[in-house]
Amino acid sequence: MNERILIIEDDPSISKLLQRGLAYEGYNVECAPDGKTGLVKARDNAPDLVVLDWMLPGLDGLEVCHRLRMGGSIPVLMLTAKDTVEDRIQGLDAGADDYMVKPFNLDELLARIRALLRRTQTDRVQGLKFADLSLDVGTHEVYRGDKLIALTAKEFELVELFLRHPRQVMTREVLFDRVWGYDFGGESNVLEVYIRYLRQKLEESGQPRLIHTVRGVGYVLKETP
């Protein structure tokens, strides 16, 4: 088990309890004491799941959840002392996948995390999504919004690889190895040609760029600033 879990919680005692309990279960755990730090951590290295406190300094949990949703489909379990039905509805409407009220039982929280991760992994087998770009592994279809994009086999493999590693810089070497199975060598421009074709197809209707060049390194799938 190597799933990464990001805890965004300003109470050090709760954060420490969660970190210890999750690490004991085999998860890789990272913590953030406020919403802004949590969003930066999620952007720089997308976790498999976020445990999110509602009452945070600066950006509250609802705003953090909303921004996480805008950037992708990371499952979010919201933790809060707010326990009315209206609070739960507000949290779920903000994009939370599950909602637990403090004080909570750690075993129940772990069970809910396992359930969310199982559901997400099942979804990922068939569908991958980032911003308005989506891919169906079963049908080999790629959409930008509602528009079906016709791709070659290699273009599809590149898009799938980017979608499985959003916001992570993919080096030329990794892209060659994963898609072509070997290194074409530093002089080959086949990757640049394929990226150019992909951009033309994905941006045909004037949509913002999603595949960005990291000069001297490779490429990254991320939102246009």
By C-alpha distance, which of 47, 41, 2 is closest to 25? 2
Helix 106-126 / helix 12-24 crossing angle, nearest 10 deg? 60
Position 181 pLDDT exceeds 70 = no
Integer Rg of the chain from CA? 19
pLDDT in tens, 113-154: 998 888 776 555 567 889 999 998 777 889 999 899 998 888
At position 75, the amino acid (one-letter code) is P
For residues 68 and 42, give the distance between their C-alpha atoms in angstroms, rounded to a whole number: 8
At position 178, the amino acid (one-letter code) is R
Position 71 pLDDT exceeds 80 = no
Written as six digits, the tokens of 98 are: 């599950």
In this structure, of 24-28, 87-91, 164-168, 218-222, the range with the lowest mean pLDDT score is: 87-91
Position 199 pLDDT exceeds 90 = yes
177-190 mean pLDDT: 65
Q: Determine the pLDDT at residue 187.
A: 53
For residues 218 and 225, give the distance between their C-alpha atoms in angstroms, rounded to a whole number: 18
